[in-house]
Amino acid sequence: MKRATITAALALVLAAGAAPGFAQDAALKAAVKADYDANLGALFDHFHRNPELSGMEVQTAARMAQELRALGYEVTTGVGGTGVVAVLRNGAGPTVMIRADMDGLPLLEASGLANASTARQIDSDGTEKPVMHACGHDVHITALVGTARQMAARKANWSGTLVLIAQPAEERIFGARAMIDDGLYSRFPKPDYAVAFHVSADTPTGKIEAPLGIVYSSSDSVDITVHGVGTHGASPHKGVDPVLVASQIVVSLQSLRSREIDPLQGAVVTVGAIHGGIKHNIISDRVDMQLTVRSDDLEVRTRLLDGIDRIARHTALALGVPEDKLPTVTRSTVESTPPTINDAATAARVRAALTAGLGEGVLIDKARSGMGAEDFAHFVTPEHGVKGVYFSVGGTPADQVDAAPGHHSPLFRITPEPAVTLGVEGSVLAAEALMPRT
């Protein structure tokens, strides 16, 4: 993001934070706490014990639909597979969409929690796997129900249309696009703004991060099949060794990051899997490679992906692979997402509302620790014209953050009450700031 844009957004934060009409919202905090004690705590426990895999969230979706219908929302199920859409209309004004992802991960929970998941599910590949919420999506969907309840109760504070979605398959980054392809923006009110949050194990409870720019990187899954000419391991000159070719490709791919991309730009090319050969003394005729590619910029993303094609092809040629056996490079059309970048001006409005409603010091700004990805980006790509804000809420007490297990770990655990309640409060304040009653 350009420095001038950030500077202008910061100015808007300061101006909005000083504007009259905002007061720390003790009533909201009390109402959310009461709701957690009466409803949300048990709902979180249910979701944590009963996770489901990506694209297979049938029971989770059914429970979400039940909860949202009971609050008076117009609810549609089966959007983009198992997705749920709930609409609440409250007069003229902007349309705000709030999204929560609902899938778990194929991990055996080892958190030691009393409500640790013991669920198992047959995945889309036909294999039975353990399932756990190892990324906090149980927090997200629980908070969405809490947000729905507060927004319905606080209609006097806002005017417009609220769209809530429970999204499948974020972990495999195809659920958002599946919902859009199934008419999310044509069958339902198209949002002017889209909001989401993520619980963060390495952020202290009671704190929120709401960046003015980049939040998550792009992600692309790439498969490379390296072909060779098989022969006896004792006579390598009679064939073309695909293991050697693949090894050289792995090494050469790192030159993309080190020599072709501006060193101040974020970029990662990781070979996560490589499989080839069957026996000590046989040179095989094939090696399969799986890559993940990350960037923070669409131009960098294109350069990385094009560079992978070029390096795979020309490395193979240099090592004697015949023209008719050059590597095949396949980019996934399913597991792919652009960077998630907050709209600076909209994020500034949300930051001001969070500070005003939750108090000075609730917001923290810290450096990113990696290049994780999020398919929320599909909802706010430029062609849709939807302005997005993605924030995170703390999930671990401050004195435990340094030792907290990471996301996607079998040991993953967060403290649910402060995470859920802050997620609700932040979502409500963001939505009301974006569709104020005039």
Active site residues: 103, 170
Q: Locate tokens 């426990």: which residue?
A: 45
Instruction: Check if the beta carbon of residue 51 is closer than 8 Å to that of residue 113.
Output: no
In angstroms, the first-to-last Cα distance of the chain is 32
**Segments in 298-407 forming alpha helices (H):** 298-318, 344-358
Instruction: Check if the beta carbon of residue 178 is closer than 8 Å to that of residue 168.
Output: yes
204 contacts: CB under 8 Å, gap ≥ 6: 394, 396, 397, 398, 401
Q: Residue 88, Cβ neighbours under 10 Å: how many?
A: 18
- What tokens does 355 get? 């500070």
As a dihedral over the C-alpha atoms of residue 198, residue 89, residue 179, residue 432, rounded to 10 degrees, the angle is: -20
Alpha-carbon span 156 to 373, nearest angstrom: 37
| DSSP code string of 52-93 | --TT--HHHHHHHHHHHHHTT-EEEEEETTTEEEEEEEESSS
Alpha-carbon span 90 to 155, nearest angstrom: 7
Distance of CA 391 to the CA centre of its chain: 11
Instruction: Check if the beta carbon of residue 327 is closer than 8 Å to that of residue 225.
Output: yes
Alpha-carbon span 20 to 383, nearest angstrom: 35
- CA distances to 39, 66, 281, 287, 398 from 278, rounded to whole Å, are 56, 52, 9, 11, 50
CA nearest neighbour of 151 among 437, 434, 424, 438: 424
- CA distances to 44, 144, 362 from 384, rounded to whole Å, are 33, 23, 31
**Exposed (0-12), middle (13-18) or buried (19+): which is 292, by Cβ within 10 Å?**
middle
**Exposed (0-12), middle (13-18) or buried (19+): which is 241, by Cβ within 10 Å?**
buried
Alpha-carbon span 386 to 433, nearest angstrom: 16
